[in-house]
Chain A
Amino acid sequence: MITSEGPAPGTAIVVAGEAEDRMLLRSLLRLSHYRVAGEAEGQGEALGLLRHHRPAVMVVDLHVAEGSWPSLIAGARAILPDMKVILVAPASSPPTDRVDREQRPDAILIRPFRIRQFAEALLSVGTVADPGPG
C-alpha cells in the first residue's frame, strides 16, 4: 500500500518558543532518523500534539511561549508516562534541579552542544527506535 505516513520510525515533537529553535531542533532530530510529528510554541499546543501523535520523545527548549517547561513535562508524563523528554537549555540559565520527579527531563543538553552530543542524548534516553516496515 502507499502511505504518506509510512512505517513510523522513532517519532518526536519539538516545543520551543522561538521559530528558529524549533527549526534547528527539528533538523537535528531528523539527522538522527527521528520523524518530527509536530512542533509547538507552548504547553497547551504541545499537549495536544502528544495526545494526537504519541511520540517516542519530546525535545523541549527551556523557553516555551506559554506555560513552563516543568509543568509541560509533568502534563506530558500524565499523558505518556513512557515518553522520553530532552530539555535544551542555554549555559547562561541552566535548569535547576528543584523540581518534582515527574517534572524532570530524561536528559538535559546545555548549549552550545555539538550535533554528535544531541544524537548521544537521544541514544542515552533509549527512545523507541525505528520499528521498520513491519
Chain B
Amino acid sequence: MTAHQVLFGAPKVQIESRPVFLRLMSTIQDLPDEILEFLSTEPPQSLIVRGPPGTGKTLLSLALLCHYPGRRVYVSSRVSTKELQREFPWLESKANRIEVVDAAGGSGGVREKAELVAYARHQLGDPAGSDELRSLWLPEPIQETWSRLDPRSPTIVVIDSWDALIERYLGFGSSEGGPVPDRPEIERILVEQMAKAPVFLVLVTERDEVTQLDYLLNGVVQTRWVRTNSRVERWLSLSKLRGVRLDMTEYPFTLDGGRFACITPFPPEYRSRLTKAVPDPDPQPGLIWPGNGEFAAAFGRLPVRRLTLIEKEPLVPDEAVRTVVRPIIAHAVEHGGRVVQTLPPEIFPDEMWSSYRDVISLEQFHHQVRIGSVITHVTDEVRPSLLPRPPPAREGPSGPLFPQALQFLQDASPSAPNLLVSWLDGLHELARMQGSDLSGISLPGVAMGYLSTAPIHVIFIGTEDDPFGRGLRAMASIRLRFRERNGRVFIAGDKPITPQFVLADSEGADSYNLVRVV
C-alpha cells in the first residue's frame, strides 16, 4: 500500500472528467486535469490562487474544496458563513460538506499577539529567539483553523483571501510597541506550520506581483479576464504545479450558474459526423430549427429567405464549424427539406455521403441533396447528387453558378426546411474555374436571387478576411464569428449580439454544447 493509499484510503483520486479516449471535442470540466492531479498528490501541499478581484478566484477555490478527497475547511475573510450559504446554495449538499471558519469579523491583531508572545515567553520560560512560540504569531482565524485539523486526516484549507486576512491582522496597531513580524515572516510561519500536518493549503490572493509565496508554495495558478469585442473571456493560467506535467497551461472558464467550469482544447483530430438532430420542441412556421437547443437558445432559429454568415479565424478548425452546421443539415434532411452544399475544395463529395448515410437513405440523399464541388471524380453512389459544373461564362455576370441548384431549391416544398450551405473558399474556386466575375460586390445580388425565388435559408461560411464574406455582412440576419484561442473555439453572435460561447462536447442529447462565458 502506498503512502497515498494510507492517507486517502483509496488509490489516486478518480478524476471526474471523462477519460481522454472518450473525449470527442472540447469538454467542460469542473477543474483542469492538471489541477485534479495536483489535488491528489500527498499532503502537505500548497497552492496560490492569484487574480484581480472579480476574476473567479472564490468559485475556483470552492471547486478545489469540492474535489478534494479529504476534509475541507474554508477560511472566509470576505464573506460570512450566511452570505456564503446564500451565494452558493449548491454547497449545501452533504457531498460538499465544508467547514467554514468565519474570518470576516474583527479579531485580534498583531499587537495583541505581541503581548501574548511576550507573556508566553515569561510564563513558559521560553528563551527569546526560540522557534517554539513562532506559531503563536499566526492570526486568530489561522489558529482556529489549525485547531480543527486532525493530524491523521488530509485536509484542504482554503484561505480566501489571504490578503484581506493578513492586512487586517497587521493593520491593528502594528506601528507601536515592540517588534512584530512583518508579512513575509508571518507567511513563512504559516507555511511552516501547515506543513506539519497533512494539509493542502490554498492561499487566495489579489496581489499581482510575485512574492516569496511563489517559491514557498508548490503551485501557482492565476485567474484573469479580458474583454474581447465587448465580451468577457475568462482564463485560468497554470504557472506552476510542482510534480505535475503541465501539458496545457491555459484554460478558458466560465462562472455560469455560480460554478467554476473550464473547457479543454478542441482536439485537432476531432471529426464531427452528421447525426440525428435534436427534435424541434416547438416548430414555428418560417423558422428553421438549427438541430441543437443550445444554438437556438443562443442565436435563435434560422428564418426562411434569410441568410446566416459564419466567419471564422483561419486557425479555427473547419470541423468546429461543421460541428455547428451539421445538426442544421441533419434536421433539414430528416424533415424532407432540400439541401444544396458547395464544398470546400479539399473535401471530396463522397465524404459527404459518408456523413449523411447515418441520417438518411441513399434514395433520400439523391432526392434531397445536391453537392457542388470542384472535384468531379465521385462514386456512382454520389454521382446523382453531384451538380454538374456549368460551362465557363463567356462574358458579363454569369447569374447563378449552378442553375440546376437554384431550380432544385425553387422546386422544394415551401413548408420544408430547405438550405443552401456554401463554403466561400469552395465558391471562390468554382467561380474561378467557371471564369465567373463573382465578387464580394456581386455575391449579395446572387444570394438575393436565391433567397427571393426559393423557400430556403442560406448559410455562407468563410474566413474573416474573405471579400465574399465582407460583402454579405450587411444582408446577414444571423452573423456568427468563430475565434480560436489556445486551442478552444469561441463563438459570438454579432447578429444578434450575444455573449461569447465556447464550443464543447455535450453530455445531453445535443451534439454539442455552447458554454456561455460569464
Contact = CB atoms under 8 A, between A and B. Distances in A.
Query: A and B from one assembly?
Result: yes
Given A9-B150, A33-B146, A132-B153, A27 B116 contact: yes
A112 B122 CA distance: 8
A53 interface: no
Contact of A130 (B123, B132, B150): B150
Nearest to B197: A33
Contact of A30 (B91, B93, B144): B144
B99 interface: yes
A114 B3 CA distance: 32
Contacts of B101: 4
A6 B124 contact: no
A15 to B, nearest CB: 16
A112 to B, nearest CB: 3
Contacts of B150: 9, 33, 129-130, 132
Given A24-B124, A35-B144, A115-B124, 17 more contacts: A1-B94, A2-B81, A3-B97, A4-B99, A6-B100, A9-B148, A21-B123, A23-B116, A24-B123, A29-B147, A31-B147, A33-B148, A33-B149, A111-B123, A112-B124, A112-B126, A114-B132
Contacts of A33: 146-151
Given A30-B143, A130-B150, A1 B92 contact: yes
A36 interface: yes
B116 A114 contact: no
B147 A20 contact: no
A97 B135 CA distance: 35
Interface string B145-164: 01111111100000000000
A88 to B, nearest CB: 9
16 contacts: A1-B92, A2-B85, A2-B98, A3-B100, A4-B100, A4-B102, A7-B71, A9-B150, A21-B123, A23-B116, A23-B119, A24-B124, A111-B124, A114-B124, A116-B132, A132-B153
Contacts of B84: 2
Contact of B126 (A6, A29, A36, A114): A114
Interface of A: 1-4, 6-7, 9, 20-21, 23-24, 27, 29-31, 33-36, 111-116, 129-130, 132-133
Contacts of A30: 143-144, 146-147
B132 A6 contact: no
B509 interface: no
Contacts of B100: 2-4, 6
A23 B133 CA distance: 14
A1 B97 contact: yes
Contacts, number: 95
B257 interface: no
A53 to B, nearest CB: 14
B16 interface: no
A3 to B, nearest CB: 7
B125 interface: yes
Give the 10 A-B residue pairs with the shortest CB-CB distance, closest first: A112-B125, A6-B99, A30-B147, A130-B150, A4-B81, A30-B143, A20-B119, A35-B147, A112-B124, A133-B71
Interface residues of B, number: 38
A27 B135 CA distance: 9
B116 A20 contact: yes
A59 to B, nearest CB: 13
A29 B144 CA distance: 10
Nearest to B94: A1
Residue picked from B71, B98, B133, B150, most chain A C-beta under 10 Å: B150
Nearest to A8: B148
A2 B62 CA distance: 12
Residue picked from A1, A3, A9, most chain B C-beta under 10 Å: A1
A34 B147 contact: yes
A2 B151 contact: no
A129 to B, nearest CB: 8
Contacts of A20: 115-116, 119
A115 B147 CA distance: 15
B120 interface: yes
A5 to B, nearest CB: 8
B220 to A, nearest CB: 28
A133 B155 CA distance: 10
Contact of A115 (B71, B81, B133, B146): B133
Contacts of A4: 81, 99-102
B59 to A, nearest CB: 15
A43 B299 CA distance: 71
A6 B132 CA distance: 29
B135 A31 contact: yes
B226 interface: no
Contact of A133 (B97, B143, B151): B97
Contacts of B10: none
Nearest to B119: A20
A20 B136 CA distance: 13
A114 B124 CA distance: 6
Contacts of A29: 147
Given A29-B147, A132-B71, A3 B124 contact: no
Contacts of A7: 71, 99
Contact of B119 (A6, A24, A36, A113): A24
Interface string B220-232: 0000000000000
